Amino acid sequence: MRKRFHIHRGDTVKVNSGNHRGAQGVVLQLLRDKSQAIVEGVRLIKKHQRKTQDRPNGAIIEREGPIHISNLQLVEKGKIEKRGKSAS
């Protein structure tokens, strides 16, 4: 059974809690088995790359790390929204 989340890939989200509180970005990827999301420009970590033909000296690159989705809130056009049933 697939888990359902309140955010989807491509949504703009805001970080509610943790070290990156207040940061906003676009969801790049959802890790459903761990209930985490990778958000563009948030929680940048340094990753060591081994020597290859492309990088003969190796490299240290920065990339986004995962954030638990309970710490994320959906943002649409500058205001915070709730996704769910509409009040009809």
Q: What is the mean pLDDT of residues 48-73?
A: 93
The residue ranges of every structural domain in the chain are 12-77
Is 32:38 a contact under the CB 8 Å cutoff? no
How far apart CA 32 and CA 45 sit, in angstroms, is 21
Confidence (pTM) = 0.77
User: In CATH, what number does 12-77 get?
Assistant: 2.30.30.30
The confidence score (pLDDT) of residue 4 equals: 84
Residue type, 56: P
- pLDDT at residue 76 tops 80: no
Question: Which distant-in-sequence residues (6+ apart) come within 8 Å of 13 by Cβ?
Answer: 7, 24, 25, 26, 27, 37, 39, 72, 73, 74, 75
A 10 A CB-CB count for 75 gives: 16
